[in-house]
A and B are shown apart, each in its own frame.
Chain A
């Protein structure tokens, strides 16, 4: 159980959602349980900050019952839904409330890790409020000024009784205290591997505005022939794309852009046209199709019909003989994601399967959706973190290219006919 701690507008929900997205992506089933949501379901309409006054007995009763409902749902998530990590997103600002959670966890045999966000910079707090609080369902009927005033009063209600985690008194607990959006961290008693990964992740994320550009290499010679994998150079259309990409990037006037490619010719050739330094990552290489490398889908159907069907049955977990699976890909892309989190403006020139994995991370797509995400050639995706998610802008650079996207065919049975298997294969030479 991950338990968030902190006054309102300290980024708890932002951290909860981002962390949950990361853990799910690396294959750890995780879910957020946001107390505010429970409260909104019970108290249909939010009037004003008075609900949160510490002397409001009625409200206190409701809030306590919401907390216990959330904990019940967490227990359910672990036992009935195979969840591995639950993030309890609430203020949890009193020692009493935290004590109750610890007892609950102890009874059930759950490990507890606290994440406390401490911030005393009024500018950061106001920016948080403006970004996410004012668009909350609570403030639908308020105008901006009133909402801000009410929310600040709401924070005051908590301040009185706020007891932060204490280095001495709480030294038997496992926790990380984050000060002022990451300038300082206090880490205590990390118990296991997953907590260690969580701490590492939290220490690498930041909130500085930036954009991540994802693109595939330009069309390659093997793309034209409808063959998968390999390590060929760009076709003439691909070369045109590389030049168009350079122009597009220049047009965006991006500050301090880092450019990353894989170790394969087609991404390197694409980056060369940009005329700026770029870094090569082996981890960004396309998925290894093992025995199927450089085959067309027709050839795969002819030589390995059973494998072809198995792949359509579970495209995420299926591993090519002597090759890789999407699941393996996610594993080897994890350091890339970690470094992307640390960086600011980055352009990643990669490959279809790789781009699907990266996109799935930023857009919180499930393992089922991931292998079918549309990542066409000659299109740049610009991802800009916004509020709790990611804004996506798609730029097709108007250079013709083959389609390499193969949808899931209707019949995935091993005994299917060749035409059924090849139903969704895109056209090629």
Chain B
């Protein structure tokens, strides 16, 4: 697989198995899902395997905490089977399906269970990294995760009080046999001990690049409630002309939007809002109207369309029909000659995402392709979907992390603007068409064809 070459860094020589450890309601699933989403976004194929899910498929209806009692032979048998089934799927994902990281999300609270997993990993040549979650005393965080449990399929038929009471008894079942990782006995293992989700971390024996990135990411996330506002700059002069890229200023309607945006932000009464823009005129002019200090990020600049900068789609079709067709074939990976691809964009936006994770309330005023990449991260969209996400002008998206995902509220500020969205065309050229086109290109400068690699497969 070309993966390593593409990103420039060989992320893993062998696949990594991430193992969560911790009593119920410590945030294991929350962190597993978030980490998986981040790794997939930075192009590391990752999948989570939640043992609770396997159990629910096996035991169709959850009756009560009694299933988890340590003396429930039947229960123990089923749970062990589920864990093994999950491990089997892990093996398949990492060995046969090109996966690079698997997150094994379960309590894994006994030494015995963890040793089983270590042996399994060793046999299959996987590296192991453990995520160990616990709380020292912060009661409110504990409650956040309890709330998540109440939304579980296990408790659809219970009222809140019953559910909480049952869940507490469930936790008790685990507590007696809980054997935490030991700083001495386990000092040769690679792990991160996360205490209070965001306060304190103990990091032991980071083995390689991907583990180092995982640790960095985990140390930057928090669960303080906040919202992220995403919007594009106001309509620009080049937008009106149907031209892509460039660095023009706002049109009259764009300026109107900027004012409306300012009013909207005021009305939202946001606590301590940070405002970020790119270094291009149209986002800066938009931010100016909001009237609060803002920070400029070069990384938020629109995708560089290289030789196609400031052209209309008609002109691109006319001058570079081959390029235009190739882009429609694989819009995510296609790189404009002397320009960038969406894939490049994701790489340069990674520090922005990292800082967004650290921050609380932020308004990001950016561009169409950039906004698609950021949105794809928050809403867990694939590389296939990303370049076609709808991000219209003059619309603000308010993202509020909720449960295991993100609530999206779309606010259209009622200022007219052109539509800049170009769907994937239904008729795409087949490879034969492209080859024929390529052969007839006698006027084509080799310069342009050489700069990006396209494979006809």
Contact = CB atoms under 8 A, between A and B. Distances in A.
Interface of A: 167, 171, 183-190, 192-193, 196, 199-200, 203-204, 231, 260, 265, 279-284, 328, 331-332, 335, 339, 342
Interface string B206-241: 100100100110011000000000000000000000
Contacts of A284: 8
A283 B348 CA distance: 10
B131 to A, nearest CB: 15
Contacts of B200: 167, 171, 186-189
B358 A342 contact: no
Return the 6 tightest CB-CB contacts between A and B, nearest first: A281-B8, A185-B203, A187-B201, A188-B200, A184-B204, A200-B216
Given A200-B216, A280-B5, A184 B355 contact: no
Interface in B2-19: 4-5, 8-10
Contacts of A196: 216, 219-220, 358
Contacts of B271: none
A188 B198 CA distance: 9
Interface in B148-168: none
B219 A183 contact: no
Contacts of A203: 203, 206, 212, 215-216
Given A196-B358, A203-B215, A279-B9, A184 B187 contact: yes
Contacts of A282: 8, 344, 347
Contacts of B293: none
A203 B217 CA distance: 13
B436 interface: no
B298 interface: yes
B367 to A, nearest CB: 16
A282 B206 CA distance: 26
A181 B450 CA distance: 46
Contacts of B203: 184-187, 203
A189 B355 CA distance: 16
A184 B451 CA distance: 44
Contact of A193 (B212, B216, B358): B358
Nearest to B4: A279
B272 to A, nearest CB: 14
A283 B450 contact: no
Of A265, A279, A281, most buried by chain B (CB within 10 Å of CB) is A279
A265 B450 contact: yes
Interface in B429-457: 447, 450-451
Nearest to A258: B10
A283 B7 CA distance: 10
Interface string B76-113: 00000000000000000000000000000000000000
Contacts of A188: 199-201
B292 interface: no
Contacts of B220: 196
A342 B207 CA distance: 10
B219 A279 contact: no
A279 B8 contact: yes
Contact of B5 (A171, A200, A204, A279): A279
